[in-house]
Structure 1
C-alpha cells in the first residue's frame, strides 16, 4: 500500500515535517556562520545581508543533507519502524520517499539562488566552492559510495561544515581568508566531527550488519569512546592555545564552561549496549558543539566591545 503524506497543518504533521529537518543538527550550520561573521565584524567587514544569505543557505544545505540521508537510509534498508533516532519520517510517518528527495533538491535550489546573490556581492569563485559543498552534502549519504559509510565521514563533515563554512563566511564579507581564520575554525570543525562519531557509536551494530566501514567500526567501541573524548580535549586545548598565542580574546575562555557537557557525552557511551541507552550521550555531544560555539561567539563579541 502506498504511504500517505502527513498534513503539515496538524500538530502531529508539523512535528513530522520539523523532525525531517533534524533540527538538532542545524546548529552545526549556524555556529560556523556566526563565528565567521563575528570574526569579519571584528575586522570591520561585517555585512548584514551577506550574513543572512549565508546563514539561510547553510541551514538549507544542512537540512537537505539530512533529507538525503533519510531517503538513502530508507532505500538501503537501514531505517525501519524500530530504528532509534529522530530519522524515520518515511518508515514511521508515511512521507513518500520521492517527496523527501524532491524537498531536498528544492532546498538546494533555494541555496543556489542565495549563492548567486552572494557571488554578485563577493566573487564568482564562491559558486565553485558552493557546488563542491552541495555535491559533498549529497554524496555524504547518496550515490553508490556514500562518504558516511567510510572512515572519512567525520573528516569530511568537520572540514566542510567547519573550516569551509567559516572560511567562506569570512571571505564574502572581508574579501580574503587569512590563515588565522582557518586555524580558528578548527575547534568547531572537531566538535562537528564528534557529532558524527557519536552517531556512529550508537549505530555501531546496525552499521556492521549493513556493511558500513565507519571509523567507529574500524576502531571498535572502546577505542571510539576514547577517540571522541580525545576530540573534545583537542578542541578545548586549541581554544586555550589560541588565547595564549593572542589569536583570540581571553573572553572566549568562557567556552570552557561547556566542558561538563563534553564529559557527560563521553561517559554516556561507557557501559551502554542498546542504541536507545546512548541517545542522551548523542544529545550531549550535539549540545557541546552548540554551547561551546555560542560561548565562543559571545566571548568574541565581548572582547570586541571591550577592546
Structure 2
C-alpha cells in the first residue's frame, strides 16, 4: 500500500516535466563554474528549490484543474490524480503547502547568501507557480502561461542560479537562460496541443485553444529553433566559448519529435512528444554545459 501511495505522488509530480526545473540550474552552474565562481551548496539549494517549485506548480495545476472542472474523464493526457480520485482534494491542497514550504526553506539559505533580490525572485516564483491555475485570473487559463514559463523557467532560473553562486550577474547568463525558457515553452505547447479539445470544452483558454493547432505547431517549431540558435548568439556576442555551438546539434535530434508534433493529433503520440521534448531539454543542457566549460 505504501508503495502504491508513493507511485501516486510520483505520478502527480509529473517527472517528465521536471527537466524544465533541472536544466536551467545545470546551465547556470556551468556558467558559474567557467567563471571560477561556483558554489556547490548554493547550486544544490537552487536545484532543490527549483524542483520543489516545479512539483508545487504541478500539484496546484492538478488540484485547480479538477476543482474548476477542466479535468474530466474525457482528457487524453496522463492521469491527474485528483480528478482520478487517487488523492482527495484536501490532501492535495495540504501537499501543495508542504512542497512550496520546502521550496521556501531552500530559499531562506539562498536569501541569506544572495540578499533581497533572491528573496524577490523566490517569492515571485512561488506566487506565480500558484497563480498559474489558481486565483481569479489564473495565468494558464488566459494564455499567459507561456510567458510565465519562459521567464521563470528560463531567464530567471539561469540568472538566479548564477547569481547565488557568483553573487554577481552577467548579461550572458540572461541570454543563455532564453534557451531553457524556449524549451520549457515547447513542453507546455505540446501539453496544450494535446489537451486542446478538452480545454475548449471548459474555461481554459491556452494559446493553443485560442488560436488552434496550426498556431500551436508553429509555436513549438519556433521555440525549438530559437533555443538552438542561442549558442550562436552567445558566441557572436562574447567571441568566446565556440565549443558551446555543439548544443545547437540538439536541433538534429529534435527532428523526429518535430515530425510528431506537426503531423499527429492523438494523445499517445503527443504524450511521447512531450516526454521527448523534456529529454531534448536535458540533452541541450548537457551539451551546453560541456561546450561552455571546455
What TM-score results when the alignment is normalised by the length of structure 2?
0.93
Q: 1:14 maps to which residue?
A: 6
Alignment-derived partner of residue 99 in structure 1: 91
Listed one character per residue, the Cα deviations across residues 17-45 of structure 1 (whole Å, up to 9, x for unaligned) are: 11111111111111111111111111111
**CA–CA distance in structure 1, aligned partners of residues 239 and 50 of structure 2:** 26
- Counterpart CA distance in 1 for 2:83 and 2:223 is 34
Taking structure 1 as reference, are residues 19 and 247 closer, same or farther at Cα in structure 2, changes over 3 Å only? farther
Match of 2:285 in 1: 293
Is 1:116 paired with 2:111? Answer: no
Aligned to 2:124: 132
Q: Which of residues 226, 236, 240 is equivalent to 2:232? A: 240
Query: Which residue of 2 is the match for residue 62 of structure 1?
Result: 54
Alpha-carbon deviation of 1:300?
Answer: 2.1
User: Counterpart in 2 of 1:203?
Assistant: 195
Deviation at 1:152, TM superposition (A): 2.0
**Range moving further from structure 2, 194-203 or 115-124:** 115-124
Paired residue for 1:33? 25
2:208 — aligned with what?
A: 216
Post-superposition Cα deviations, 1:95-150, rounded to whole Å, max 9, x if no partner, equal: 11111121111111122122111111221331122111100000011112111112
The correspondence for 2:177, drawn from 169, 181, 185, is 185
Q: Compute the TM-score of the two structures, normalised by the length of structure 1.
A: 0.90
Within 1, Cα distance between the matches of 2:215 and 2:114? 44
Unaligned runs of 5+ in 2: none
The answer to which structure has the higher helix fraction is: 2
Residue by residue over 1:234-261, the C-alpha shift from the partner in whole angstroms, topping out at 9 and shown as x without a partner, is 2112222322444552222222332234
Q: Is 1:255–1:293's contact at 8 Å kept on the other side of the alignment?
A: yes
Q: Tell me if structure 2 keeps the 8 A contact 1:264–1:284.
A: no
When the two chains are superposed, the root-mean-square deviation of aligned CA atoms in Å is 1.8
Find out whether 1:158 has 2:150 as its counterpart. Answer: yes
RCO comparison, higher one (Cα < 8 Å, 6+): 2
- Deviating 4+ runs (over 3 angstroms): 244-248
**1:261/1:285 contact within 8 Å kept:** no
Distance 1:46 1:271, change over 3 A: closer
Q: How many residues align?
A: 294
The aligned counterpart of 1:3 is: none
